[in-house]
Structure 1
Amino acid sequence: MKRIIQNLLLMVQFLTRIPVNLNLPCEKEDFKRGAIFLPVVGFIIGAIQWGIYELFIRILPLEPTIVIILLAGIIVTGALHLDGVGDTCDGFFAFKGNDRIIEIMKDSRIGSYACISVIFDLLFKYALFSSIAPSFPIGIIVVPIISRFTTVFIITIGKNAKKTGSGNLFVENVGKLQLFISFLLTTGILILMMNAIHVIILLFAGVVFTAIFNEFSKSKIGGITGDILGANNELVEILTLILIAVILR
């Protein structure tokens, strides 16, 4: 039981800026076991954003409140996933060979495509959260849970595009058992918050999109990297928000 809690805390420590000032075991096996908790990490991030929304919507108009929850998400995650989508777009749209794409993705400098992708990512989230939050505020929690589950899915089906990198702690390390346990956790949490049919629709859409994105990444660089995990997370969040907005109409 102690090791399970440590693996959960390791995921919080690794994927967020939430202060977990503990010296935790961080062998590859710990990341493998900890992967089941990615949707729980999504729940924690979403719950923080939801709490901030419920606090500020009482004293501020909707629009600045949405800006604050977006900023809160960036602070809590350290912009980890936004950085991933930016680096991925810089690499994928460079129209270079596989090795050159990976080199561009590793470059700490921001290119035009990264800048554009981050701007549109935040614009989509701003517009969609503004649309759904007044009638379905719990959706603020639902979205990061689903996106983190699809991360577990892609690291289960994907393969490494390079020999080293943060993504290698998960990719080709996490198996079907971890995916299944993560699925049970995800559905268990989501069914407590929304209609079961809607849960199935959102999870199915996220998984299908992720499978397609995995194949696209494989065609570009032969596999996936940590940046691609971040990009997939962001894109699935936007897709989930769009579907929730459609459901609520």
Structure 2
Amino acid sequence: MTRLPLPVVDASDEDFAGIMRWLPAAGLVVGVVVAGAAWVGGHSDIWVGALCALVAWVAITGALHLDGLGDIADASGAAHKDRDTLSAVLADPHIGSFGVVAITVQLLAKLVLLHAVLDRTSLWVLVLVPAVARIGPLVWTLTLPPLHEGLGSRFRHGTKWWQIALWAGLLAPIVSFAPALSAGIGAILLWGWWLRTRLGGISGDGHGAGIELIETALLCALAISV
């Protein structure tokens, strides 16, 4: 879930599937690191703070979600052909022009929006952005068919609706102090709809791309609201 080192443990497939329920908690950890980097860099200049936050964001996730975004961008260009071509593009470790453009625009968007948010609101709000975005994979896992057998499909048996309700209930009182974060609900549903209509289902890349895009949508909502 992050690049932070953790002890090596023995885990069954059931244990592995169950880690999905902890994604929002991992998001809180990511948010703390991002907000901390923004605070440190912000002592020099607000643009430096935004850049430090972005670098920390990419580093702590190992650019895993950005990789998913690039793969989904390339795959969407092949989705009009057939399922085999779509699967082949998703499995290809190389990146195409669509993927390069998508990742570049995503990084630029996050940098500019981080600057806007840091200039207009409190740092603590950044802590919540990755956490709210990571509720999305729980919803997509339960509502979308798997595109193929892989990392994404293994999570399906470990995800329950009550887990989504629990995280929503835990985060709702905090989000009430930053109502713009409720835009995450619409963004999560919209991404699920796009995946179903455009690609036909969910995969690990779909989860990663969705997390990136929901985070950006939340930053945009915060920047506009304040």
TM-score calculated relative to the size of structure 2: 0.91
The aligned residue for residue 156 of structure 2 is: 171
RMSD of the TM alignment (CA)? 1.9
Residue 210 (structure 1) aligned to one of 179, 185, 188: 188
The answer as to 2:211 corresponding to 1:225 is no
TM-score calculated relative to the size of structure 1: 0.83
Residues in 2 aligned to 1:241 and 1:215: alpha-carbon distance in whole angstroms? 21
Q: 1:55 Cα deviation (Å)?
A: 1.8
The aligned residue for residue 11 of structure 1 is: none
Alignment size in residue pairs: 224
Of all paired residues, the percent bearing the same amino acid is: 26
Residue 141 (structure 2) aligned to one of 148, 155, 159: 155
Call closer, same or farther: CA 1:220–1:21 in 2, change over 3 Å: same
Whichever residue aligns with residue 160 of structure 2, its letter is G
Residues in 1 aligned to 2:16 and 2:142: alpha-carbon distance in whole angstroms? 13
Call closer, same or farther: CA 1:116–1:92 in 2, change over 3 Å: same
Greater than 3 Å deviation, 4+ residue runs: none
Whichever residue aligns with residue 110 of structure 1, its letter is I
Q: Give 3-state SS (helix, strand or coil) of 2:59's partner.
A: helix
Q: Give 3-state SS (helix, strand or coil) of 1:96's partner.
A: coil
The aligned residue for residue 104 of structure 1 is: 89
Please give the per-residue CA displacement for 1:62-103, whole angstroms capped at 9, x wherever unaligned. 212211211111111010110111100000023421221121
- Note if contact 1:158-1:171 (Cα within 8 Å) is conserved in structure 2: no
Whichever residue aligns with residue 51 of structure 1, its letter is G
Q: Which runs of 5 or more residues in structure 1 are unaligned?
A: 1-14
The aligned residue for residue 143 of structure 1 is: 129
Residues in 2 aligned to 1:64 and 1:29: alpha-carbon distance in whole angstroms? 43
The aligned residue for residue 16 of structure 1 is: 2
Q: 1:216 Cα deviation (Å)?
A: 2.4
Residue 63 (structure 1) aligned to one of 33, 47, 52: 47
Q: 1:24 Cα deviation (Å)?
A: 4.3
Please give the per-residue CA displacement for 1:6-27, whole angstroms capped at 9, x wherever unaligned. xxxxxxxxx11100023142x3
The aligned residue for residue 115 of structure 1 is: 100
The answer as to 2:159 corresponding to 1:180 is no
Call closer, same or farther: CA 1:172–1:158 in 2, change over 3 Å: farther
